[in-house]
């Protein structure tokens, strides 16, 4: 009987390729910035509202008769909205965000979209994730491209972490030197990561991808051990759990440049009211918890949170008490250095396009340009494939 212990196997595996562990670090070479100076000490948290969130019922134009005419069933009554101005108010489920608004830490970016909008979920989120023109097909995500051009320091746990979702969105990228990690629970990740082994990249594209992921795991693992205990109480819904993971990552001294959370599905073709109310309530509670925990860590002033969605929904409700795919929508920017207020312009419901959807007021790439140029202070032109004027929603 031959005895084979699992430990022996792991030891044997671990011993063999040690020399290669240094590979990725060496490859980055002089491009890797000194740690203290890196712009990526400032954290970006992007929150994808999957399925196409209805912007019109997120930030409600409660004085516009056209809104109530288009939304006989789904319109949110004037006395139910959380009034932010004499024209616009939040969905009642977003009541917890009012504290952020009062603290001038919430920017409502209105009418964000792009020319020649695509109404397919998949194509439109691809356009958002890759920051491409409507008719251009780009492989890598806008954050992955940014990190490839301006590398995140090697002592970071990873460039970006995708929490609780298997698609990498804006962090999807194939280039050497970028490191995106997907996980749901950091502790479980560290336990399992012992099974990953770096090996020399060789062979076909599928193999190269697997070897790169193994190498990213090995590097992230060495940084993510240990956990942080918060005084802040996290909510127990799925989004609350993802927020907790984001906060644990933010607490880790090794750092990550970007975290992507997601929530959904907002694809409310039928019976929209209940679904959107539940999801927006999860969102608002999660964002308020995020602020509390990051404030506890002293990191709220170094954090920018940005929501996004592949599109808004059609202003005219359908006959199923739902809404069909639309175009531009409202985004939120939240953080200790956000200059709260309204940006862009609300949809002009008296001037809809032929398909019944609003024209966009603000290109989503101008929002990304703000993140790159103003938040991280790195030139946005290459990553975005053009010059977009940043939106002044950040304080100096």
Partner 1 sequence: MPALPRRVARFAVAGILAAAVPAWSASLPMGEADARHLLSRTGFGPTAADVRTFASLSRDEGVDRVLAATRTRVTAVTPPPAWTAETGPLRPAAAAAPEERRDFARRQALRVAELRAWWVQEMLATPSPLTERLTLFWHNHFVSSQQKVRVARLMYAQNALYRSEALGNFATLLHAAAKDPAMVVYLDSAQNRKGAPNENFAREVMELFTLGQGHYGEQDVKEAARAFTGWSLDRDTGTFLFRPRLHDDGDKTVLGRTGRFDGDAVLDVLLARPETAELVVGKLWQELVSPVPDAREVARIARAFRAANYEIIVPVRELLRSAAFWAPAQRGALVKSPVDLVVGALRQLDQSPADTRPYALAVAGMGQNLFAPPNVRGWPGGDAWINSNTLLARKQFVDRLARSDAVVMELAKAPAAQRVLLPIAPQLPSPPDADAALAIRTTLLDPAYQLK
Query: Is-contact 266 51, C-beta < 8 A?
Result: yes
Q: Which residues bind partner 1 (CB under 8 A)?
A: 1-4, 6, 8-9, 12-13, 15-17, 51, 119-123, 162, 166-168, 180-184, 189, 192-193, 195-197, 199-200, 202-207, 209-211, 213-214, 216-217, 220, 265, 269-270, 318-320, 322, 324-325, 355
User: Is the CB of 49 or the CB of 60 nearer to partner 1?
Assistant: 49
What is the number of residues in the chain? 396
- Angle at Cα 51 formed by Cα 47 and Cα 52, nearest 5°? 80
Per residue, what are the HEC states of 356-377?
A: CCCCCCEEHHHHHHHHHHHHCC
Peptide bond into 107 cis (omega under 30): no
Query: Is-contact 180 158, C-beta < 8 A?
Result: yes
112 by Cβ neighbours in 10 Å (0-12 / 13-18 / 19+) ranks as buried
Q: How far is the CB of 215 from partner 1 (least distance, A)?
A: 10
User: Is the CB of 81 or the CB of 190 nearer to partner 1?
Assistant: 190
Q: How far is the CB of 256 from partner 1 (least distance, A)?
A: 13
Q: How far is the CB of 199 from partner 1 (least distance, A)?
A: 4
User: Is the CB of 221 or the CB of 365 nearer to partner 1?
Assistant: 221
Q: How far is the CB of 370 from partner 1 (least distance, A)?
A: 28
- Angle at Cα 124 formed by Cα 58 and Cα 366, nearest 5°? 70
Q: How far is the CB of 162 from partner 1 (least distance, A)?
A: 7
Q: How far is the CB of 98 from partner 1 (least distance, A)?
A: 32
Q: How far is the CB of 146 from partner 1 (least distance, A)?
A: 19
54-64 core/surface letters (b: 16 or more CB in 10 A; e: else): bbbbbbbbbeb
User: Is the CB of 216 or the CB of 373 nearer to partner 1?
Assistant: 216
User: Is the CB of 204 or the CB of 236 nearer to partner 1?
Assistant: 204
CA of 106: how far to CAs of 14, 180, 194, 336, 363, in Å? 48, 28, 41, 9, 19
- Angle at Cα 135 formed by Cα 134 and Cα 137, nearest 5°? 100
Q: How far is the CB of 395 from partner 1 (least distance, A)?
A: 35
Q: What distance in Å separates the CA atoms of residue 148 and residue 133, rounded to the nearest whole number?
A: 20
User: Is the CB of 224 or the CB of 288 nearer to partner 1?
Assistant: 224
User: Is the CB of 131 or the CB of 224 nearer to partner 1?
Assistant: 224
User: Is the CB of 217 or the CB of 394 nearer to partner 1?
Assistant: 217
């Amino acid at each position: 009987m031959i005895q084979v212990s699992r430990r022996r196997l792991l030891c044997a595996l671990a011993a063999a390729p040690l020399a290669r562990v240094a590979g990725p670090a060496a490859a980055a070479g002089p491009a890797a910035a000194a740690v203290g100076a890196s712009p990526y000490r400032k954290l970006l948290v992007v929150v994808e509202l999957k399925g196409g969130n209805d912007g019109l019922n997120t930030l409600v134009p409660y004085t516009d008769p056209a809104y109530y005419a288009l939304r006989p069933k789904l319109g949110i009554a004037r006395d139910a909205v959380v009034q932010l101005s004499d024209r616009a108010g939040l969905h009642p489920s977003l009541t917890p965000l009012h504290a952020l608004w009062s603290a001038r830490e919430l920017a409502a970016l209105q009418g964000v979209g792009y020319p020649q909008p695509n109404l397919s979920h998949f194509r439109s989120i691809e356009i958002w994730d890759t920051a491409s023109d409507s008719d251009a097909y780009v492989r890598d995500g806008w954050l992955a491209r940014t990190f490839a051009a301006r590398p995140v320091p090697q002592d970071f746990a990873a460039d970006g972490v995708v929490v609780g979702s298997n698609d990498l969105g804006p962090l999807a990228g194939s280039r050497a030197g970028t490191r995106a990690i997907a996980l749901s629970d950091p502790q479980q990740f560290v336990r399992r990561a012992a099974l990953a082994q770096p090996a020399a990249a060789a062979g076909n594209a599928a193999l190269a991808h697997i070897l790169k992921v193994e190498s990213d795991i090995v590097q992230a693992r060495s940084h993510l051990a240990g956990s942080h205990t918060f005084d802040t109480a996290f909510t127990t819904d799925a989004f609350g759990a993802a927020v907790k993971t984001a906060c644990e990552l933010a607490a880790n001294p090794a750092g990550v440049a970007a975290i992507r959370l997601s929530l959904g599905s907002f694809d409310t073709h039928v019976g929209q009211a209940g679904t959107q109310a539940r999801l927006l309530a999860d969102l608002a509670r999660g964002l308020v918890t995020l602020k509390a925990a990051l404030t506890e860590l002293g990191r709220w002033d170094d954090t920018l949170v940005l929501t996004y969605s592949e599109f808004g929904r059609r202003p005219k409700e359908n006959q199923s008490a739902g809404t069909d795919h639309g175009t531009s929508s409202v985004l939120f920017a939240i953080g200790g250095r956000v200059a709260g207020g309204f940006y862009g312009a609300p949809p002009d419901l008296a001037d809809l396009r032929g398909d019944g959807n609003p024209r966009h007021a603000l290109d989503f790439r101008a929002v990304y340009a703000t993140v790159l140029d103003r938040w991280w202070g790195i030139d946005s032109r290459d990553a975005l494939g053009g010059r977009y004027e940043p939106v002044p929603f950040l304080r100096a």
